[in-house]
């Protein structure tokens, strides 16, 4: 990865792959990431950074507009308190927190409430409580997202390898060259319809590595209403956190 700047646009240039178009993405943290084709012209050995700069500059109006939208969506970041009655999201629905003195697991979702052992918060504070929630989301997500991948994979006619729910920083998911699929545990905070969109998105990347028209046509064939789901994630994604 190389950090570059063209005029007032700073971006991260990722290693090129065998793609036909330059892929420009505004990540959830507002970073502009660019992945260019390995070859921009027939017979060229390697794409040059200056060629990537020129492409980024030609797309500057798109980048300005999307960065402005990102700033608007991230003006306020919800910070939850670890107290009785606070609401935490799971699969798009809100559940109140109840601190309990005794139970056989650190965290349970029961009777419409997240029940967390009070001793964890007392001993480890917000960090310890957050870790318990993250581990719970990973565990639940591993089973549910694996099932959704298995459900949708035949529709895309692909065969993913390992499926893992983990911490992915500012990415919702990633498709590895090996065929492995990784999903952020925060996906489990989103509604099921949005989880399915993320799953289909990554499965289609097993056929098309970029965000070309061919890629989006593939997504559309499996999920004709993907635009609404994608837009929901764009608007609400920042709030899908602890």
CB 203 within 8 A of CB 149: yes
Can you give the residue ranges of every domain in the chain? 2-73, 87-239
Q: How far is the C-alpha of 39 from the C-alpha of 19, rounded, in Å?
A: 8
pTM: 0.73
Overall fold of domain 87-239: Zincin-like (3.30.2010)
3-state secondary structure of 95: strand
The pair of structure tokens assigned to 75 is 């003006």
Tens digit of pLDDT at every position of the chain (242 positions)? 788 988 888 899 887 666 667 888 888 778 898 988 776 555 555 778 888 899 999 999 999 888 877 776 665 455 678 999 999 999 999 999 999 999 999 999 999 999 999 999 999 999 999 999 999 999 999 999 999 999 999 999 999 999 999 998 888 999 998 999 999 999 999 999 999 999 999 999 999 988 889 999 999 999 999 999 999 988 888 778 87
Q: Give the position of tokens 């565990």.
A: 139
Rg, C-alpha atoms of the chain: 20
Locate all alpha helices (DSSP H) within the chain, ordered by sequence.
49-58, 60-73, 118-156, 192-205, 213-222, 226-236
């Amino acid at each position: 990865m190389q950090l570059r700047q063209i005029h007032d646009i700073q971006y991260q240039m990722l290693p090129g792959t065998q793609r036909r178009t330059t892929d420009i993405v505004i990540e959830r943290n507002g970073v502009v990431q660019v992945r260019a084709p390995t070859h921009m012209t027939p017979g060229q050995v390697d794409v040059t950074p200056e060629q990537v700069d020129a492409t980024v500059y030609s797309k500057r109006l798109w980048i300005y507009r999307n960065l402005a939208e990102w700033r608007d969506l991230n003006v306020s970041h919800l910070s939850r308190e670890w107290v009785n009655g606070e609401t935490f999201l799971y699969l798009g629905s809100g559940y109140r927190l109840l601190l309990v003195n005794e139970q056989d697991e650190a965290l349970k979702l029961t009777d419409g409430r997240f029940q967390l052992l009070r001793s964890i918060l007392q001993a480890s504070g917000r960090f310890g409580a957050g870790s318990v929630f993250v581990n719970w989301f990973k565990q639940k997500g591993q089973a549910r997202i694996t099932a959704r991948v298995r459900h949708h994979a035949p529709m895309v006619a692909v065969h993913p390898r390992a499926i893992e729910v983990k911490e992915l920083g500012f990415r919702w998911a990633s498709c590895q060259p090996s065929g492995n699929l990784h999903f952020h545990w925060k996906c489990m905070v989103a509604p099921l319809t949005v989880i399915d969109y993320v799953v289909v998105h990554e499965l289609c990347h097993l056929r098309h590595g970029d965000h070309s028209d061919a890629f989006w046509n593939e997504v559309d064939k499996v999920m004709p209403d993907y635009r609404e789901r994608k837009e929901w994630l764009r608007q609400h994604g920042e709030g899908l956190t602890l």
